[in-house]
Structure 1
Amino acid sequence: MSWQVDHLVIGAASLEQGAAWCAATLGVLPGPGGKHALMGTHNLLMAIGAEAFPRSYLEIIAIDPQAPPPGRRRWFDLDDPALRATLAAAPRLIHWVARCEDVAAECAALAGAGIDRGEVLQAERDTPRGTLRWQIAVRPDGQRLFGGALPTLIEWGEVHPAGSLPACGVRLESLAVGTLPDAAARRLPPGVSTSDAFAATLATPAGRVRLEGAA
């Protein structure tokens, strides 16, 4: 197994909109996250780990209106006009991130199959418990690829954010990521399937919730 589900990405027009959506849809409020100086974004976080998906979490992400322009396309297609119009109406599941032990090697393997996952960037953000550091593969055009089905790949440093997230009664039950080429599909971890649609099922205080992906 090369990849594990690290986190689901919920795109929002603002963090206030995202928090309200989370409370109404999942029955709980997300916790604080931080700012990404590299991309001009900020986030809120929520633990969704389960036996099949250890250390997984949900990220609500939005463009930070107080941050200067990053000088490049932001990750997760957040600069795409069509996606921004979709998120203006309501937050949506837009992507997933897979953690791996060697992100450069994983990107090279995909490149060998004709899939350009992007360049490996060094990123970090400050937290009350110290600085989080990670390496992440991001294309210069910011594209997610295959309608968000192909995960962004991440390699964490010594600290993982899920270690400080409290349990909130939300658990990831299953994830279907859409259609992928064989070179990527064979790296999917248990509990993750390919299908005609990108969708996640969560057990929540509000009941079982299915989140449908936005292309």
Structure 2
Amino acid sequence: MTYRIDHLVISASDLEQGKDAMEALLDVEFGPRGVHKDMGTENVLVAMARPDGSDAYLEVIAPDPAAKRPDFPRWFDLDNFGGPPRLTNWVVSCPDLEEAWELAPANVGRIMSFQRGDYAWRMIVPETGVLPFDNCFPALIEWHSPRPVPGLPDPGLALRRLKISHPNPEELREALAPFISAMENVRIVQADTPGMTAEIGTPSGEIWIA
């Protein structure tokens, strides 16, 4: 199967704070606010090209203060997020989510279905809110509708490189081996603290986000 980076996730405690910080850093404007009722979260998006030139996007996401908190942990470990907005996750698109689930680590989560307006998708959501390898393993998504990219602001952002740091890089590389087609310009390095950084081409030049 062919896997591709679908989008990168910037987590924030407050959506407006996260949006303002990323707009200032990248010199862009995000699209309008959206909500995920099942997860009690809200987000904004902006288009971004992948290294191969095809489309992806950048998402800023935060807990929705107006929504009821779900009875299970929110995705991307947002229930435990603190500090300034930062890059926390990457999401990989899959043509067959069941097959991807079989190939992923055992604790990757459960398949859930979502719909928002004209958009419909399924996603593997960890039951703890934390993806394998301390959130360094990607969230896996299967779209059942056109992706949102055509309707997003497109200021000319481009993902150049994604660097993932982890104390056990070899184990992470082994877990990602079935998803090698999504690994274009993705580098995994050893570090004491898990995390990720991305180099983004912007109207103002190359910017690293972390």
Does the pair score TM above 0.5? Answer: yes
Q: What does residue 18 of structure 1 align with?
A: 18
What amino acid is the match of 1:203?
A: G
What does the per-residue CA deviation read over 1:95-118, in whole Å, with 9 as the maximum and x for residues that have no partner?
Answer: 01000101111111224xxx3211
What amino acid is the match of 1:108?
A: E
| 1:175–1:193 contact (8 Å) kept in structure 2 | yes
Using the TM superposition, give the Cα deviation of residue 8 of structure 1 relative to its aligned residue in structure 2, in angstroms.
Answer: 0.3
Q: What does residue 79 of structure 2 align with?
A: 79
Q: What does residue 188 of structure 2 align with?
A: 194
What does the per-residue CA deviation read over 1:135-191, in whole Å, with 9 as the maximum and x for residues that have no partner?
Answer: 000111111221322000000012101121232121111112333141314523222
Find the partner of 1:117 among 97, 103, 108.
Answer: 108
Q: What does residue 99 of structure 2 align with?
A: 105
Counterpart mapping for 1:163-202 below 5 A: 163-178=150-165, 179=169, 180-188=172-180, 189=182, 190-196=184-190, 198-202=196-200
Using the TM superposition, give the Cα deviation of residue 33 of structure 1 relative to its aligned residue in structure 2, in angstroms.
Answer: 4.1
SS in 2 for 1:79: helix
Distance 2:109 2:6 in 1: 18
Between the two proteins, the alignment pairs up a number of residues equal to 199
Between 1:188-197 and 1:42-51, the stretch displaced more is 188-197
- Residue ranges of structure 2 left out of the alignment (5+ in a row): none
Give the share of equivalent positions with the same residue, in percent.
Answer: 36
Distance 2:153 2:90 in 1: 21
What amino acid is the match of 2:200?
A: L
Q: What does residue 44 of structure 1 align with?
A: 44
SS in 2 for 1:31: coil
Q: What does residue 203 of structure 2 align with?
A: 205
Q: What does residue 59 of structure 1 align with?
A: 59
Q: What does residue 130 of structure 2 align with?
A: 143
- Residue ranges of structure 1 left out of the alignment (5+ in a row): none
Distance 1:100 1:33 in 2: 25
C-alpha RMSD over aligned residues: 1.7
Distance 1:203 1:97 in 2: 19
Distance 1:104 1:52 in 2: 26
Between 1:136-145 and 1:56-65, the stretch displaced more is 136-145
Using the TM superposition, give the Cα deviation of residue 64 of structure 1 relative to its aligned residue in structure 2, in angstroms.
Answer: 0.3
What amino acid is the match of 1:32?
A: P
Distance 1:92 1:186 in 2: 27
Using the TM superposition, give the Cα deviation of residue 53 of structure 1 relative to its aligned residue in structure 2, in angstroms.
Answer: 5.2
Distance 1:51 1:76 in 2: 24
